[in-house]
Structure 1
Amino acid sequence: MDVRDDARDARDAQDARDAQEDARDAVRDETAVSRFVERFAAQLTEAGMQRMAARVFAQLLASDGAAMTSAELGEALRISPAAVSGAVSYLTQVNMVSREREPGSRRDRYVLHNELWYETFTRRDQVLTLWEKTLREGAASLGPDSPAGARIAETAAFFEFLQHEMLGLLDRWRAHRATLDLG
């Protein structure tokens, strides 16, 4: 009985999402949305993200529910299941999306994290900490008076500065975000 109830609940939830999507489609300009997705994906690619991962990420960002199935992503972006799979693997690995399964369904949905940018920069802070430590060790091994040692020590100091600034920036963002009327 529980399994059938879960399956019915999952179908009802999907039906409700489909109805909401149909209503939004009546006012949403899909051509403009597609242009946005491709433009933002191109900018992410220029910044170093893999092309398909950038397209999938931008499409998820532009979806009202911030979650889509592999089939939905493939259809929206006109890409193969293999391309979706590769992109989602990368995005999952770098913690930009997570994979969730709906109760009673065998389909996975790929979901953006709620505080995506905050989490991304927090993880970047962890990377900066690691880089700073390695750079300080490198500067010490080269000697602080050597040109290479001084250059590497300055780079480590920059990353230390960046980390301190980032913490304050993220705190100010959270306070500012609380004042926004984002619906």
Structure 2
Amino acid sequence: MFARRERDPGRRRDVYVVDTEAWYHSIVVSSRQALEAAEFAIAAARTPGIDRSAAERLARGGAFMERITLDMIESADRWRALLT
């Protein structure tokens, strides 16, 4: 949510407040979801009975997604000060 409505203290009206951290939170939340998908793919690659070539593709894809996602989270943390 980029903006929210709040009551103006001591007055009978509402004001709209822009959340300066919304962009950061959006990136972090979506990155965490992508990280869960990457971890699932890596775990699925270790499933007994799965075709070896499919397991290798899952493991490589999961590792790629994991690294990219961790880079995004690190970058968001590094550049967070730009929002303030």
Instruction: Give the TM-score of the pair, scaled to structure 2.
Output: 0.67
* Cα distance in 2, alignment partners of residues 142 and 108 from structure 1: 57
Return closer, same or farther for 1:142/1:120 CA change in 2, 3 Å cut-off: farther
Runs of 4+ in 1 over 4 A off after TM superposition: 142-145
The 5 A counterparts of 1:54-65 are none
Tell me how many residue pairs correspond in the alignment. Answer: 81
Q: 2:35 maps to what in 1?
A: 129
Amino acid at match of 1:161: R
Q: 1:169 maps to what in 2?
A: 75
Return closer, same or farther for 1:146/1:168 CA change in 2, 3 Å cut-off: same
Instruction: Give the TM-score of the pair, scaled to structure 1.
Output: 0.36
Identity between Structure 1 and Structure 2 (%): 26
Unaligned runs of at least 5 residues, structure 1: 1-95
Structure 1 contact 138–152 (Cα < 8 Å) conserved: yes
**Cα displacement string for residues 107-139 of structure 1 (whole angstroms, at most 9, x for unaligned residues):** 685x54212221111112210221122112221
The 5 A counterparts of 1:98-109 are 99-103=4-8, 104-105=12-13, 109=16
Q: Which protein, 1 or 2, shows the higher relative CO under an 8 Å CA cutoff with sep ≥ 6? A: 2
Amino acid at match of 2:2: V
Match of 1:157 among 51, 59, 63: 63
Unaligned runs of at least 5 residues, structure 2: none
Instruction: Give the superposed CA RMSD.
Output: 3.0
Deviation at 1:155, TM superposition (A): 1.4
Return the structure number with greater strand share: 2
